[in-house]
Amino acid sequence: MRNKKQFNNTDEVTDINISPLIDMVFILLIFFIVTTVFVEEEGMATNTPDPSPNLDKPDEEKERLSLLIKNNGEVFARFGANETNIGIGGVRAVVQQEMQQEVYPILINVEKESLIDTYVRVHDTAILAGAEGVTMKVVQE
Amino acid sequence: MGKNKKALSATDDVEDINISPLIDMVFILLIFFIVTTVFVEEPGVDIIKPMAFNAADLPKNCILIGVTESDNVFYGGEEVGLSGIRLKVRRMIRENSNYPVIIQADVGATNGTIARLIDECKLAEVPAGQIHLSLEKLNN
């Protein structure tokens, strides 16, 4: 009883009680702190050929360079019917040589069980060697 | 009880501490977090990203899809599989048509799965060139 009286006495000061506001702001703050995720992603665009079979025919007729990643991680360079095993280390030289004559996007054929790590390395090297773009295409063994 | 009452009345006599700087600071923090918050559902799986030199910064607002070493496809903390991802991505694209898709693939994921995942995203009406592979950037 006495306590209540005292409380009323102090209330006579004409201040707006801002403690609910502060409580609310704190709750909002905690909500946003908890839900914030700092997404910092770096990466590169990847593409697969559009499903129309007419598009990749002209490339083969022109005997353009394409690469092939085997299931076991071996990398082959393919000119028309010619296939040579160049390995990841050989990609840069082959692509660079080809790009000196004409710059065009490179098709990387991948076998289903090859690893994304190998593909990323070949893609990266091809771009560094001056290729205009890279397309990933899945081929059967 | 009696002790508590005494303490309360004692503090009443003391002048109030000025809390307005505290409130100002809290407001500033609040505004900072409101501005920086993006509501992105993370795949929620541990992934070792492939490394590359050609890695560009990607937008913060995006659709994240995780692919683990054993080729399991995760979205928003649950395994959805290759067949379930199209529905999820399409729903997100309907709401936010400019969101790119970022695939967080583990180094051990196979190209067959990634290529099928990209095809599924294309079928879910993700615009061409908006599908990215998440990478660890190497500095030369």
Could you give the ipTM of this predicted complex? 0.75
* A83 vs B33: CA distance, rounded Å: 56
Does the beta-carbon distance from B50 to A35 stay under 8 Å? no
Does the beta-carbon distance from A112 to B112 stay under 8 Å? yes
Q: Which residues lie across from B78 on neighbouring strands? A: B75
What is the structure's pLDDT at A78?
85
Tell the residue number behind the tokens 């007729």, with chain if given: A61
Token pair recorded at residue A56: 């990749």
Mean pLDDT of chain B: 85
What is the structure's pLDDT at A102?
84
Q: What are the average pLDDT values for consecutive 10-residue runs of chain A, which has 141 residues?
A: 52 74 89 83 85 55 79 87 85 87 87 91 90 87 73
Judge whether A52 and B53 are in contact, CB under 8 Å: no
How much is the average pLDDT of B61-67? 91
- pLDDT surpasses 70 at B1: no
Note whether A119 contacts B: Cβ–Cβ < 8 A: yes
- pLDDT surpasses 90 at B106: yes
Tell the residue number behind the tokens 């129309």, with chain if given: A52
What is the structure's pLDDT at A73?
87
- pLDDT surpasses 50 at B2: no
Share of chain B above pLDDT 70, in %: 89
* A82 vs A49: CA distance, rounded Å: 22
Instruction: Tell me which of B128 and A55 has the higher pLDDT.
Output: B128
Instruction: Tell me which of B63 and A16 has the higher pLDDT.
Output: B63
Q: Which residues from chain B sit within 8 angstroms of residue A47, using beta carbons?
A: 118, 128-129, 131
**How many CB atoms are closer than 10 A to CB A6?**
14
* B21 vs B92: CA distance, rounded Å: 41
How much is the average pLDDT of B45-53? 90
What is the structure's pLDDT at B73?
93
What is the structure's pLDDT at B38?
79
Which residue, among A61, A23, A38, has the nearest Cα to B22 in the 3D structure?
Answer: A23
Judge whether A123 and B51 are in contact, CB under 8 Å: no
Main-chain dihedrals φ then ψ at residue A96, nearest 5 degrees: -60, -45
Using CA coordinates, name the residue in chain B closest to A30.
B30
- Ranges A44-53, B34-43, B44-53, most confident: B44-53
What is the structure's pLDDT at B67?
93
Using CA coordinates, name the residue in chain B closest to A134.
B129
* A119 vs A126: CA distance, rounded Å: 10
What is the structure's pLDDT at B133?
92
Question: Is pTM, for the whole model, over 0.90?
Answer: no
